Every structure is written in structure tokens, then in C-alpha cells.
Amino acid sequence: MATIETANDKMVCYCYGLRESDIQQTVQLHGCQELQAVMSCSGAGTGCTACHRRIQAVMNKQATETYGAAPLK
Ligand code: FES
């Protein structure tokens, strides 16, 4: 999943070179609501696992922007 890099498009998963926009696109295209789903659909977070909090933060931000609130955990 390649995207055009912008200054605001922060790197999320360094192992797989996936940026914030890649995670957002995965959530949108596949309807992923949980970290495990994003991992399965994009590969993000399946390496060293250090990015799990960053992935979750992107998902929460996207949910807040879309629905007005992040999902309860
Ligand atoms: S930084 Fe995402 S799996 Fe390593």
C-alpha cells in the first residue's frame, strides 16, 4: 500500500514502512475496528510490535474525526 509522503503523514510502522495514511486507508477500505484487524489487513504491527500504540492512536484519531468519539476499550 504505497502513498505519497507528506510532512504531516507520520511514519507509524517502521518495520513495514507504513504511514498514518496507510493505516487510515486500511481502516476505511476493510472496516477494521480493532488492532488485530489492521494487522491482518495491512501487515502493520506484525514485526517488532513497537508500533501497536501508534496504530491504535491513529485508529482512535480517525474514529474521533469520523464518529465524534473513539471506541471504548
Ligand atoms: S514498527 Fe511496526 S512492527 Fe515494528
pTM: 0.85
- Residue 16: CATH number of its domain: 1.10.10.1100
16 part of a folded domain: yes
The residue to mutate among 49, 53, 56, 58, having the most atoms of ligand 1 within 8 angstroms of its beta carbon, is 49
Q: Is residue 44 helix, strand or coil?
A: coil
Q: Report d(CA 45, CA 20) in Å as an integer.
A: 13
53 part of a folded domain: yes
Query: How does the average pLDDT of the chain come out, rounded?
Result: 90
Q: Provide the residue range defining the domain that includes 52.
A: 11-67
19 DSSP β-pair partners = 11
In tens, the pLDDT along 7-55 reads 789 999 999 999 999 999 999 999 999 999 999 999 999 999 999 999 9
CA of 18 to the centre of ligand 1 (A): 9
4 part of a folded domain: no
Domain count, the chain: 1
73 part of a folded domain: no
Question: What's the confidence (pLDDT) of residue 68?
Answer: 83
5 part of a folded domain: no
